Amino acid sequence: MTTDLTEITVIGDDDTGLVARVTSLLFERGANIEDVDQAVRDGVFRMTLAVDTAEMVCTEATLRADLHELGEDLGLDVQVRFPADRETQRIAVLGTSESHCLEALFEAWTNDELGADIGVVIGNHDDLEPLAERYDVPFHDIGDENGQQNEERLLEVLAEYDVDLIVLARYMRILGPNVVFRYEDRIINVHPSLLPAFPGAEAYRQALEEGVRVAGVTAHYVTTDLDQGPIITQRAFDVPDDANLEEIKRRGQPLEADALLEAVRLHLNGDVSVHRGRTSVREGERDYQLGLPDEVDELTPDRPVDGIVDVVDDATDAESEDADRETEPEPPAN
């Protein structure tokens, strides 16, 4: 969403009349709705609105209170984020056991390269707790003995730390609509394949079994459809003929961290937006790597390309016209 608009997210059980009640309240307060999107998944209703509140006829505090009161009446959870609320952004990092992506985020944060704070690390195991402690960041384990996540506890932690962005740093659990809908276009995941190829679990193994020569990684926004969210950044690497699974992981993991970190920067800087399931990057002075490095262009052949037949035909037609002119008889002299 545009950063100078107020973001309103409405979550709850699906029912009739919900959209009308919320939009009517906004109209009565003089707030102008710029964009609205709604969806239902597994009985969970979600509506996100981008609202211009610059000329509304009440204060921000009043609008927030009125929306929360309406939410209580309708059994809805209503979140309101005014532009000023997002001046200092806070990240929650979710992980399981692999540390490379979390380490990259921590290094960028300590080097003041993120422009946001890592407020909390959340895991479904406690493997990453020592790394979080080293950087003096709170850690919460929301998994049971089998690593199954407690989504209610997850939502409580995210609310406790007032999280703006959720980063899945090789988090090996699927988030349900109750979480995804609340943080629409604010959850970034990194997947170890060049999506849409090899979605789901064991992506590197899938690539190995299919015999690919080029594999890669993808950072994308999370949606309720597994590994089908809008793509932000990608990286690629060669797969040697004799590569095993460990070799592919060794080549891919540094690129996972790199692609994820670049996607997070794009989001935090407000330079990436989502429209109809695709991302677009705002033109500006920042230099991002979205896919392969620029050096690859120098090694990529630029010919042949389709169209040579048309060129040949045009040249042949021109030659025929010249030949016809040369063979035409000269007009008689007067």
Active-site positions read: 227
Which pLDDT value is given to residue 283? 79
pLDDT at 267 over 70: yes
Q: What is the pLDDT of residues 43-57, one digit of tens each?
A: 899 999 999 999 999
| CA 174/CA 176 separation, integer angstroms | 6
Which pLDDT value is given to residue 115? 87
| CA 226/CA 262 separation, integer angstroms | 21
What residues contact 259, with CB distance under 8 A and at least 6 apart?
Answer: 190, 217, 218, 219, 233, 234, 235
pLDDT at 1 over 50: no
**Tokens standing for residue 279:** 């991302």
List, as one string, the DSSP characters of 221-232: E--SSTT-SPEE
Query: Averaged over 230-236, what is the pLDDT?
Result: 98
Place of tokens 């009446």: 73
Query: Averaged over 231-238, what is the pLDDT?
Result: 98
Which pLDDT value is given to residue 331? 63
What residues are paired with 324 via a beta bridge? none
Provide the CB-side half-sphere exposure for 247 (13 A, CA).
10
The per-residue pLDDT of the chain, averaged, comes to 91
Pseudo-torsion of CA 180, 185, 189, 193, nearest 10°? Answer: 110
Place of tokens 């740093």: 169
H or E, element range at 168: strand 165-168
| CA 147/CA 163 separation, integer angstroms | 23
- Is the separation of the CB atoms in 272 and 93 below 8 Å? no
What separation in angstroms does the CA of 233 have from each of 30, 201, 213? 39, 20, 20
pLDDT at 236 over 80: yes
Q: What is the pLDDT of residues 289-314, one digit of tens each?
A: 999 998 888 888 988 888 767 666 66
- Is the separation of the CB atoms in 48 and 221 below 8 Å? no
Query: Averaged over 94-123, what is the pLDDT?
Result: 96
Q: What is the pLDDT of residues 164-204, one digit of tens each?
A: 999 999 999 999 999 999 998 999 999 999 999 999 999 99
